Amino acid sequence: MGILSGLTSPADLESLDHQQLEDLAEEIRRFLVEKVSATGGHLGPNLGVVELTIALHRVFQSPEDPIIFDTSHQSYVHKMLTGRLEQFDTLRQKDGLSGYTSRSESEHDWTESSHASAALSYADGLAKAFELTGRGEHNVVAVVGDGALTGGMCWEALNNIASGKDRNVVIVVNDNGRSYSPTIGGLAANLADLRMQRSYDEIMEHGKNTLKSMGWVGERTFGALQAVKEGVKSQFLPTEMFPELGMKYIGPVKGHDLQALNQAMTYAHDYQGPIIVHVVTEKGHGFAPAVNDVADQMHATGIMDPITGVPVSQSGPSWTGVFSEEISAAAARRDDIVAITAAMAGPTGLAAYAKDYPDRFFDVGIAEQHAVTSAAGLALGGLHPVVAVYSTFLNRAFDQLLLDVGLLELPVTFVLDRAGVTGSDGASHNGVWDLALTSIVPGIRVAAPRDGAQMRELFNEALEVNDGPTVLRYPKGSLPVEHEALLRTQDGVDLLRYSEDAVDNDQERIDVLFIAVGPFAGIALEVAEELEAEGVNVTVVDPRWIAPVAQSIVALADDHDLVITLEDGIIRGGVGSLISEALSAAEVDTPLRHLAFPDVFPLHASRNELLAEVGLDVEGVSTSVNGWLETLFNDSSQ
What digits encode the pLDDT tens for the residues 370-425? 999 999 999 999 999 999 999 999 999 999 999 999 999 999 999 999 999 988 88
Q: What is the mean pLDDT of residues 447-468?
A: 98
| Cβ neighbourhood burial of 234 (10 Å; 0-12, 13-18, 19+) | exposed
| Cβ neighbourhood burial of 266 (10 Å; 0-12, 13-18, 19+) | middle
Residue 51 marked as a ligand binder: no
Residue 147 marked as a ligand binder: yes
Just list the catalytic residues.
283, 368, 396
Nearest Cα residue to 109 out of 78, 135, 87: 78
Q: How many helices (H) and strands (E) does the chain have?
A: 23, 18
Residue 73 marked as a ligand binder: yes
pLDDT digits (tens, 9 = 90+) for 511-535: 999 999 999 999 999 999 999 999 9
Residue 368 marked as a ligand binder: yes
Q: Considering the entire predicted model, what is its pTM?
A: 0.87
453 has a pLDDT exceeding 60 = yes
pLDDT digits (tens, 9 = 90+) for 311-322: 887 678 999 999
Residue 240 pLDDT grade (very low, low, confident, very high; cuts 50, 70, 90): very low
Nearest Cα residue to 498 out of 490, 509, 507: 509
- The full set of domain ranges for the chain reads 4-291, 319-473, 487-637
pLDDT digits (tens, 9 = 90+) for 99-118: 999 999 999 999 987 788 89
pLDDT digits (tens, 9 = 90+) for 492-513: 999 999 987 655 554 568 899 9
Look up the CATH architecture of domain 4-291: 3-Layer(aba) Sandwich (3.40)
Cβ-contact 604, 595 below 8 angstroms: no
Residue 148 marked as a ligand binder: yes
Q: What is the DSSP letter of 402?
A: I
Domain pair 4-291 / 319-473, same fold: yes
Angstrom distance (rounded) from CA 134 to CA 568? 46
Q: What is the pLDDT of residue 297?
A: 74
pLDDT digits (tens, 9 = 90+) for 151-184: 889 889 998 999 888 899 999 999 887 544 555 5
Angstrom distance (rounded) from CA 504 to CA 576? 25
Q: What is the pLDDT of residue 302?
A: 85
The region of weakest confidence among 5-19, 275-289, 443-457, 624-638 is: 624-638
- CATH among 3.40.50.300, 3.20.20.60, 3.40.50.920, 3.30.950.10 for 487-637: 3.40.50.920
Q: What is the mean pLDDT of residues 146-150?
A: 81
Q: What is the mean pLDDT of residues 467-484?
A: 95
Residue 116 marked as a ligand binder: yes
Q: What is the pLDDT of residue 237?
A: 40
Following DSSP, what letter does each residue of 505-545 receive, concatenated?
A: --TTS-EEEEEE-TTHHHHHHHHHHHHHHTT-EEEEEE-SE
Following DSSP, what letter does each residue of 598-630 receive, concatenated?
A: -SS-PPSS-HHHHHHHTT-SHHHHHHHHHHHHH
Domain covering 319-473 assigned CATH 3.30.750.80 in the classification: no
- Report cis status (omega within 30 of 0) of the bond before 548: yes
Would you say the C-alpha torsion 106, 92, 396, 597 has a positive or negative sign?
A: negative
Residue 260 marked as a ligand binder: no
Residue type, 175: D
Share of the chain above pLDDT 90, in %: 70
Q: What is the mean pLDDT of residues 323-332?
A: 98
Residue 218 marked as a ligand binder: no
274 has a pLDDT exceeding 90 = yes
Residue 146 marked as a ligand binder: yes
1 has a pLDDT exceeding 70 = no
Residue 176 marked as a ligand binder: yes
Q: What is the DSSP letter of 305?
A: -
